[in-house]
Each structure stands twice: as C-alpha cells, then as structure tokens.
Amino acid sequence: MCGDGRDMAISFQGAQAPSLTVLEQVRSYWQGLRQGSAPPLREALDPRGMAQALESSFLLERIAPGLARFRIAGMNLHDLIGLDARGMPLSTLFDPPARARMAAVLESVFAAPAVGEIWLQAECGIGRPTLEGRMLLLPVRDAQGQTSMALGCLALAGSMGRAPRRFAVTRTLCAAISPLAASQSTKTAAQSDLADPSAVLPLPALGKIVKIRPTHRAASHLRLVYSRD
C-alpha cells in the first residue's frame, strides 16, 4: 500500500512547479480508452492520441514484483538517464533510498490495479541544478488481458543539467481505478478520496508552464521511439 495523509498534500520545494499539462493529456487519453472498470489494452494505445506529451511519456513492462523496465521512452527520459532508456529498469531514475517506496507504488499499479502519482526531487550538485517532477503511472493490460504494463508520464520543472539525474521520492499517492472515476467532478472526487480509497483523484490546477532546457541533445532525434511489438 502506498500513500498516506501527508502524501495527499500538493506542493513543490522550488519557486516554479512543473506544468501538469502533459499529465492531464496522458491521463485523459488513457481514461478515454478504458473499458468499464478495466484498464485499456496495450494494442489500443496510439501515440497520436497524446501527441503533445510524447517527449515526457513512456511505457513500462512488469518484470518482477516491484520492478518494471522501459519498453518505450520519450526523449526527456533519455536525457535524464544519459542514454537510450529502452530496456532499462524504472529504478534507474531513483536514488537507492527511494527504490523500495517506488516498488510499492508499482505493485499497487499492477495488482490493484491503481493509478499511481509520485512527487520527485532530483539530487543536486556541480552541473546538476534544481530539478523537480511529478510522475503519473496508469495500468495497461497486455494481449492476455493481464495488467502487466503501465503507461507513464513525467512532468519536470527546472534545468536538466548533467546526466544522469536521479530522484528522491517526496510523496506518493495510489488510487484503485473505479468505473465511476471518469464521471466524477473535481470537487466530488477530492472529497471522496478521504472516505473511499477506490476514488481516483483528478489532477490539480495547472502550474506555470516551465520548459526543460537540457544541457545537450543530439540535433536529430525522433521525439519518441515507438514499437508495436
């Protein structure tokens, strides 16, 4: 189980909060593909449905309890790690103390299934300025109908700096998906979360749009590496 009363607070340490536009686009697209109370199927995902969020999006594949690897990754993930993220474990993005907490979020996403939200703070140092983020994980079913995959998105605020960048987890929130989640108003969903753990929280009001400025990027890269396999 992940998330507690403290985790429900929405705040960031820096002066500028991440723009949550990309998270809203990915979540709305995923919600539109759902079949009743079930997560959408992998084969239904189409990058064109979330075109403005591709650089920040990724697809995870569960490989063991609490572990998942990148099957598809947008360019922001490549920049954070410093190389091609495909095939690498999600834990690569986190510092060692954060990995157990992240594993608990992943298990909730796959097992419940649930929507997972994670608040992040990057390590700082020479060449690594302030960088904060918020990650959204959405369960997806494979060809056998098992929830073994997750559609993800990472909103960032600050400067990318020198790769690799790794994050500490400052807050988490997991909410089991519900067939009523898509029709709930923001006010109703926010209130029901306190009494009903199956309610899915809507995203809060958007913060100021902040563009990420990587220190370097190859001039000719595709925006998303995409595969149907």
Q: In sequence order, which residues have a C-beta less than 8 Å from that of residue 97 and are 6 or more positions away?
A: 168
Tell me the pLDDT band of 37, cut-offs 50, 70 and 90: confident
DSSP lists the bridge partners of residue 3 as: 173
Q: Which two tokens stand for residue 123?
A: 């390590």
Distances, alpha carbon 26 to alpha carbons 43, 144, 210, in Å: 16, 23, 18
pLDDT tens sequence across 86-105: 999 999 999 999 999 999 99
Could you give phi then psi for residue 174, rounded to 5 degrees? -120, 135
pLDDT at 18: 57
Nearest to 65 by CA among 151, 177, 148: 148
Greater confidence, 220 or 3?
A: 3
Q: What are the b/e assignments for 137-162, b being 16+ CB within 10 Å?
A: bbbbbeeeeebbbbbbbbbbbbbbbe
| Residues 211, 215, 221, 222, CA torsion sign | negative
Q: Does residue 142 have a pLDDT over 70?
A: yes
User: Three-state DSSP class for 191?
Assistant: helix
For the chain, domain boundaries: 6-195
Greater confidence, 12 or 75?
A: 75
Greater confidence, 134 or 210?
A: 134
Q: Does residue 61 have a pLDDT over 90?
A: yes
Q: Does residue 153 have a pLDDT over 80?
A: yes
Q: Under CATH, to which class is 6-195 assigned?
A: alpha beta
What one-letter code names the amino acid at 229?
A: D
17 neighbors 205 (Cβ within 8 angstroms): no
Greater confidence, 33 or 183?
A: 33
Q: In sequence order, which residues have a C-beta less than 8 Å from that of residue 22 and are 6 or more positions away?
A: 52, 53, 56, 57, 153, 155
Q: Does residue 15 have a pLDDT over 50?
A: no
pLDDT tens sequence across 172-227: 999 999 774 434 433 333 333 323 333 333 333 333 333 333 434 433 333 343 34
